[in-house]
Structure 1
Amino acid sequence: MAIREYLPVDIDDIPERFDVDIEDETFIFQVNYNMSQKYYTIDLYSSDEDPIMLGEKLVLNESLWEGIYDERLPAPTLIPMDESGLAKAITPDNFMKTVFIFFDNIVQDLEPTLGEGDSDG
């Protein structure tokens, strides 16, 4: 079972378009598959169907829209990944089975501070 939340893509219905609410804002996502090049892409639209980003290639373990600053992009970051770490690429055999487009919103625990909770001083 996945630890993080992920985009609900129905791989039997690609190209698939669906709405997702992220931090009180609705976005429209469309997932596509390029048959000739054998890779998935994602399109992002505002709730009014205005294009925000189109044709972003899904690359395993790489954030979507990496290095692009656009205040219209959703936060948190979205990352296609396999939480088990076994996948080497995104394929029709593993997409939405072990590879998902995850929300990177897990808060990392802070490392404990020496002496924290120590009653000796």
Structure 2
Amino acid sequence: MRSRIEVDKNKMPYQFQIMLGGSMYSMEWQYNSTSERFTCTLCDAQGEPLVYGEPLIYGNPLFAALSHGEILPPMEIVPLDESGETQEITWENFGETVFLTLDDEGESV
């Protein structure tokens, strides 16, 4: 099983700091009930936004359109259901069976 980033959907909107690949980041989480979509804004340690309002899409790595490693975390962060029960992100399953998994084998999280 991969490592996970725990997100408390019941606190949204909220943010927390996290160490990824040896660097500190801030992740701000929001949920839009109209579009039924979770989004993440990623900031550096000084609070400067690196990626604003990235939507979570099942099976697609967050921040995939950008280069990982220099500014962004070096590992992929992918919303997945490792139990195989679903292939979509909903309010009901996020944090229950669908988690943000880290492709972090050999990395420090």
Report if aligned partners of 2:78, 2:102 keep a CA contact under 8 Å in 1: yes
Q: Which amino acid aligns with 1:23?
A: G
Of structures 1 and 2, the one scoring higher in RCO (CA 8 A, sep 6+) is 2
> Could you tell me the TM-score, scaled by structure 2's length?
0.89
Distance 1:88 1:24 in 2: 31
Over alpha carbons, which structure has the higher Rg?
A: 1
Which secondary structure does the structure 1 equivalent of 2:53 belong to? Answer: strand
Q: How many residues align?
A: 105
- CA-to-partner distance for each residue in 1:76-112, whole Å, 9 max, x for gaps? 11001100122121001100000011111247xxxxx
Q: TM-score, normalised to structure 1's length?
A: 0.81
What is the aligned partner in structure 1 of residue 13 from structure 2? Answer: 15
> 1:6 is paired with a residue of what secondary structure?
strand
Aligned partner letter, 2:84: G
3-state SS of the aligned residue for 1:31?
strand
Runs of 4+ in 1 over 3 A off after TM superposition: none
Structure 2: gaps of 5 or more residues: none
Rounded to whole Å, the distance in 1 between the matches of 2:14 and 2:65 is: 26
- Residue 103 of structure 1 is matched in structure 2 by 102
Q: Which runs of 5+ in 1 are unaligned?
A: 108-121
Q: CA RMSD in A?
A: 1.3
Sequence identity of aligned pairs in percent?
29
